[in-house]
Structure 1
């Protein structure tokens, strides 16, 4: 194997790894946020039960629930999120079928471009749901935990989360 080919393969592996990790982050943030969105029973206890039910859900299921729970009537938003999840799934679950022919023909740059675009879009989505998660935690701090012994712990947690999001 030539060093150029090895270098190209390593770059692809790094991009795939980043795509997996970023999409897992987005999935985790959706699991935090969704129990508090569009719900009739907004009690903490009910939200924690809903969170428990989401533990084994896939990114696709969570993204669908996210779209359903928003007030957006934009078909573009729904289609963009569906495309993002489908493209991520193609990379993670069907990489060779998706890119094998291009790689065999030496079209590495096309593959790099595709993977880098997906990664950038996933990072943007992760950032959005991360911000929503922070808003959920700060809302819990300011409403549910205000005046309780746990308020200080929640304030510390929120400050730590906010600092991590800002970095």
Structure 2
């Protein structure tokens, strides 16, 4: 027989798992996008070197670089990004410290609400950086690969990525 807490625990596990996977997607898209931002050497070779340097960076470091790379002078944007990363890190790295007391008191709905809000915010962020990654790929297709034998392959990859994003 299942205890009443088991369905609650399964729901929490699904939410935490989704938070981990969505934030990993966002991290991957940042690693694709960030090498093409800024005013450094715009060559593909230089961008690939910058990409290599980002391979072991954390979501927090990447989000900070993302904020720095924008032209937004909004302190709210920087604060939102810092909050998003800090909240994600609390869930992923310090779950029991963050929610243990609430769970112990049976306040499951508060935990669900918190996790669902974080997941929704991370999905929005992922969508933004996913769209930016598509723009980078399409720019590479149209500039770097234009009039090359690889153009059709790059066009096919871009079309496939665009279709995946749309679904």
Q: TM-score, normalised by structure 2?
A: 0.98
Look up the match of 1:69.
69
Look up the match of 1:157.
157
Look up the match of 1:14.
14
Look up the match of 1:111.
111
Is the aligned partner of 1:39 residue 2:39? Answer: yes
Q: Alpha-carbon deviation of 1:75?
A: 0.5
Distance between the aligned counterparts of 1:127 and 1:4, measured in 2?
A: 35
Question: Any residues of structure 2 matched to 1:16-165 within 5 Å, and which?
Answer: 16-165=16-165
Q: Alpha-carbon deviation of 1:39?
A: 2.8
Q: Alpha-carbon deviation of 1:38?
A: 1.0
Look up the match of 2:4.
4
Q: How many residues align?
A: 167
Q: Alpha-carbon deviation of 1:164?
A: 0.4
Distance between the aligned counterparts of 2:40 and 2:51, measured in 1?
A: 15
Distance between the aligned counterparts of 2:155 and 2:76, measured in 1?
A: 37
Distance between the aligned counterparts of 1:163 and 1:8, measured in 2?
A: 35
Can you give the 5+ residue segments of structure 2 that lack an aligned partner in the other structure?
none
What secondary structure sits across from 1:71 in the alignment? coil
Distance between the aligned counterparts of 1:32 and 1:102, measured in 2?
A: 38
Q: Deviations over 1:33-87 (max 9, x none)?
A: 0000113211000000000110000000000000001100000000000000000
Deviates more, 1:110-119 or 1:37-46: 37-46
Q: Which runs of 4+ in 1 moved over 4 A?
A: none
Can you give the 5+ residue segments of structure 1 that lack an aligned partner in the other structure?
none
